[in-house]
């Protein structure tokens, strides 16, 4: 990598590092709002069903506090 590419990489990684907590907050707030607006998502289907014999279904997983 050239020195210019290393500087640009450092800048981009710095911006990502600064933006990450804000983006995590946006995702957490969006998740909470969606759970309050519609606690049971009847259209939710898991991406991967897991191992055979494991329960899979349209229920949205519940949080530890039962939200």
**Each residue's pLDDT tens digit, 36-57:** 888 787 777 778 766 655 555 5
The pTM score is 0.49
DSSP string, 2-29: -HHHHHHHHHHHHHHHHHHHHHHHHHHH
**Each residue's pLDDT tens digit, 14-41:** 999 999 999 999 999 999 998 888 878 7
Is a pLDDT exceeding 80 seen at residue 62?
A: no
d(CA 16, CA 35): 28
């Amino acid at each position: 990598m050239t020195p210019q590419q290393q500087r640009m990489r450092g800048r981009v990684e710095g911006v990502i590092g600064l933006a990450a907590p804000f983006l995590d907050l946006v995702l957490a707030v969006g998740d909470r709002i969606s759970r309050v607006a519609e606690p049971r998502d009847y259209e939710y289907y898991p991406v991967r069903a897991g191992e055979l014999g494991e329960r899979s279904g349209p229920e949205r997983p519940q949080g530890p506090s039962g939200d």
